[in-house]
Structure 1
């Protein structure tokens, strides 16, 4: 039986004024690609009912690459970027046409919005994207959002739109996020294992420490449970309750019934810039900090200076995002660096005054100014998710 606090969380999803719903490729297509009209139609029927009841509905939909596989006679999801982009180019039109037809049967209009990470990272793009989506909602349109896979690079292989959905929820101040896939909930062990139990609610990310959330997505998608956990952590850090379940359970999930896993909002809503830095940027390198610098950055809100850095790794330019790690290798913060990677090693261990005296006044600046630093709350994403996010650096 659902306890009262959890019931209130589920009710918040059922009564949300604006809900962002993300659906994965495997929930819309057959095992070898190509859109499944029955699956897509069933999802649209549910979302249309919610929209016609008065809620704003934003659909973040994967499936463009999968939809392009059949017309291109591809037997499996392509691995090379060029073919992925070609499949997305072919499939995106088919995907939107299918949504137009299905929503049109309910008298609803859809509007396509294609985004990349830049659109939720750069402030000018961010504001334009928000205005567009909000105006579509005001006009009674159902925005259908996807990553711009035909030109994307990092985005195509990261997150399968899960992270994008969480950032969109923050972008438009949505009041709920629903992540739909082919898995009905988060379990305390792989669901195929005997005795695996559904986790009905996650209030504290620490409960995930003992949960096996490994694995990858389906043969037509890229997302796995890790990307969904990360998306839920992003959204809940922004104050948005998040429900994870299967597309087959979308109707009871949106009605507030006891299905899937609900993630409770945590703490106060961070500024948009803090959320961009934490989750919408892709780190291009790492800086290891000594204990004094770790304390200065995480506890005293100070800028990062060259004297507190032990070593540098990665290939980055001034203005790129880098991760800050402690001596144990844990990511503690992310920020926009003021130096190129090749410049920094010669500056380490020196104060800014020393550098200005020997190299000139241009070097009397922080490595990362505190206004361009975002500290990760403890267990904000989980060590495993952070590792997955940064494993290619």
Structure 2
């Protein structure tokens, strides 16, 4: 898709954003053999530098460390086994950082490398540290280049989490918008490689995605796929951050008038760092199943969860851990910090407060430590 589209309010807000997160996938930075493509990287830097020169602060979330290690290690293709992937990432992280530093140097811009693992956004203290570091880099005029630490983060290598990482980083830095760049020019209502699929230009709410099959779109080079990009867009939008999804080949226009690709409107309000962490970053250690009355209290009335509304407990967790709250059909409707250990709850669930000893009448999940997801 190359024709310009009408500038909706969402696109105008993205074009006017003062602080942006730009995520680029491996497939957009690699050659047909899977190695790092210096020309593609330079084209991306050209577009980002133009936006920075216009007064915008930009964080780049970049895949490509494993690809950058392929040539130096003499590999013929992207490795499949974990140990070789980690070795390629170890070598490639240096090569990728050097490539970005050299390319941004053409515009007299300094680059800072920030390597993160899931642990850095799951653990609250690490989350705050990452937030402070990124904000300081931006105020110093540096372009942070964020990547998963693939050398040690095994889950990220297996599942390709950079799309989700970009959404989390967007909230970490208080971004005004998120750009997701890949090898597909927009979101389609089916796999565009099979023909007959139509472009979805604007997404104003979850209903616009009803019947959309994003599972097949994407390349074989990256590991995220279109489904992970749609999920990353959902996470960002529900936190008040609009998203533009398009191809890296359209980076100039995406970072300019935002008149390409698919625009996702912000559907929620900006959450505090703690509430966003609870909703999207923290790792859940267990699950609590609720009856309909408890779901109504937690989701619609934003009340604390009491033991009387719990029907079942799943998982091993301690008081202070994050748990998911499920409705009777098994849908996760909220997340929160539980006040009891898993072993304490079976004797409490289903019982009203007046049936319990005084020391056990506190809320299972207090409203201040709870985020509704519906």
Distance in structure 2 (CA, Å) of the matches to 1:366 and 1:216: 45
Stretches of structure 1 lacking an aligned partner (at least 5 in a row)? 378-393
Contact 1:62 1:160 (C-alpha < 8 Å) held by counterparts: no
* Deviation per residue, 1:96-133 (Å, 9 max, x gap): 01111111122211001122334334444333322322
Q: Which residue of 1 aligns with 2:80?
A: 78
Classify the secondary structure of the residue corresponding to 2:188: coil
| Residue pair 1:66, 1:77 contacting (<8 A) in 2 also | no
Matched, 1:339 2:340: yes
C-alpha distance 285-209 of structure 1, shift in aligned 2 (>3 A): farther
**Aligned Cα root-mean-square deviation (Å):** 2.4
Task: Give the number of equivalent residue pairs.
Answer: 371
The verdict on how the C-alpha distance between 1:270 and 1:138 changes in structure 2, with shifts beyond 3 A counting, is closer
Paired with 1:115 and 1:261, the residues of 2 have a C-alpha distance of 28
Q: Spell out the pairing of 1:361-376 with structure 2 (5 A cutoff).
A: 361=359, 363-376=360-373
Alpha-carbon distance between aligned partners in 1 of 2:223 and 2:351, rounded to the nearest angstrom:
44
Do the aligned partners of residues 339 and 33 (structure 1) sit closer, same or farther apart at CA in structure 2, a change above 3 Å counting?
Answer: farther
1:149 corresponding residue in structure 2? 150
Matches within 5 A, 1:82-231: 82-158=83-159, 160-215=161-216, 218-231=219-232
Match of 1:266 in 2: 267
Q: Is the CA contact (8 Å cut-off) linking 1:288 and 1:309 kept in structure 2?
A: yes
Q: Within 5 Å, which residues of 2 pair with 1:223-372?
A: 223-356=224-357, 361=359, 363-372=360-369
CA contact (8 A) 1:65 1:84 kept: yes
Question: For 2:133 and 2:23, how far apart are their aligned partners in 1?
Answer: 19
Q: 1: distance between equivalents of 2:350 and 2:230?
A: 38
Query: In the TM superposition, what is the alpha-carbon distance from 1:235 to its structure 2 partner?
Result: 1.6
Q: Which of 276-285 and 37-46 deviates more?
A: 276-285
Once residues 318 and 262 of structure 1 are traced to their aligned partners in structure 2, the CA distance between those partners, rounded to angstroms, is 41
- For the residue of structure 2 that corresponds to 1:302, the secondary structure is coil
Helix, strand or coil: the match of 2:187? Answer: coil
Q: Which moved more, 1:130-139 or 1:215-224?
A: 215-224
CA contact (8 A) 1:284 1:320 kept: yes
Write the distance in 1 (CA, Å) between the matches of 2:38 and 2:258: 26
- Between the aligned partners of 1:343 and 1:155, the Cα distance in structure 2 is 34
- For residues 94 and 347 of structure 1, the distance between their equivalents in structure 2, rounded to whole angstroms, comes to 56
8 A Cα contact 2:160 2:222, kept in partner: no
Question: Which whole-Å CA distance do the structure 1 matches of 2:179 and 2:81 have between them?
Answer: 28
Name the CA distance, whole Å, in 2 between partners of 1:142 and 1:355. 56
Query: Equivalent residue of 1:127, what SS?
Result: helix
1:12-40 CA-partner distances (Å, limit 9, x unpaired): 22222111100011111234432111111
Shift of the alpha carbon at 1:264?
A: 0.9
Which residue of the partner structure matches residue 387 of structure 1?
A: none
- After TM superposition, give the deviation of residue 352 of structure 1 in Å: 4.6
With 115-124 and 53-62 compared, the bigger mean Cα shift is at: 115-124
Native 8 Å contact 1:76 1:219 kept in 2: no
Asked if the contact 1:77–1:220 (Cα under 8 Å) also holds between the matched residues in 2, the reply is no
Q: Are residues 22 and 158 of structure 1, via their aligned partners in 2, closer, same or farther at CA, if it must alter by over 3 Å? A: same
Greater Cα shift, 120-129 or 59-68: 120-129
Secondary structure of 1:30's aligned partner: coil
Range 118-127 or range 193-202, more displaced: 118-127
Query: Compared with structure 1, are the counterparts of its residues 39 and 343 closer, same or farther at alpha carbon in structure 2 (3 Å cutoff)?
Result: same
Distance 2:354 2:69 in 1: 58
Say whether the 8 Å CA contact 1:31–1:219 is kept in structure 2: no
Structure 2 unaligned spans of 5+: none
